[in-house]
Structure 1
Amino acid sequence: MNLQNLATHAHAGRIDALELISLEGGIYLLDIYLQGQRHSLIDARGDVWHLRSVEHARDLLRELPELPFHLVQQSPYDEMCGLAEGVREPLRVPVGMRSQW
């Protein structure tokens, strides 16, 4: 989903939530939940948009209404420490869509 489609759906109240996925190397991807389906934010070329930070995401989303917005990060800690195997839920931190500065 491109930014224009995201804005259209957001203003129409169809966006359930946004998740900013943190990846190794300082890359962030924006997942958009639209009526129960997940979509990735894409750029003008149709490639998944690589964001640089939470503030970069906020800057892109500044014209949208307030939506549920979470920073999601997988933790390699369990693997590094040799803890028991099993499914580990990612860290999900609610963040505001507007900077608190």
Structure 2
Amino acid sequence: MNAYELARHANAGSIDELNLISIEGGIYLLQARLQGTVGYLNDDKGEIMHLRSVEHARELLKDLPPLPFHLVHAVVHDEMCGMPMDKRDPLRVPISFHSKW
């Protein structure tokens, strides 16, 4: 979904939540959950857009109505240390939609 489609869905109230997925290397992906489906914000070439930070995401979202918004991190330290995989959920931290405070 591109920025126009994201705005259209947000203004129509069909987005359940937005998740900013933190990827190793300082990359963030914006995920939108809409009525049982998951989509990612794409750039003009149709590829998944790589965001630089939470503030970069907020800048892109500034004109949208407030939505539930989470920063999502995988629990990578267990994997790095060779710990067995379990059914641990990723760390999901609610973050403010429009303000860094």
* TM-score, L = length of structure 2: 0.93
Rounded to whole Å, the distance in 1 between the matches of 2:7 and 2:63 is 8
Q: CA deviation at 1:15?
A: 0.7
Aligned to 1:34: 34
Aligned to 2:16: 16
Stretch of structure 1 that moved more, 76-85 or 12-21: 76-85
Aligned to 1:25: 25
The two structures, once aligned, show a CA RMSD in angstroms of 1.2
Q: Is the 8 A contact 2:55 2:100 kept in 1?
A: no
Q: CA deviation at 1:81?
A: 3.7
Cα displacement string for residues 54-92 of structure 1 (whole angstroms, at most 9, x for unaligned residues):
000000000000000000000212223444432221000
Aligned to 1:89: 89
What runs of 5+ residues in structure 2 fail to find an aligned partner? none
User: What's the secondary structure of 1:30's corresponding residue?
Assistant: strand
* TM-score, L = length of structure 1: 0.93
What runs of 5+ residues in structure 1 fail to find an aligned partner? none
Q: Is the 8 A contact 2:40 2:48 kept in 1?
A: yes
Rounded to whole Å, the distance in 2 between the matches of 1:80 and 1:100 is 31
Rounded to whole Å, the distance in 2 between the matches of 1:48 and 1:61 is 16
Rounded to whole Å, the distance in 2 between the matches of 1:78 and 1:2 is 34
Post-superposition, which runs of at least 4 consecutive aligned residues in structure 1 deviate over 3 A? 80-85
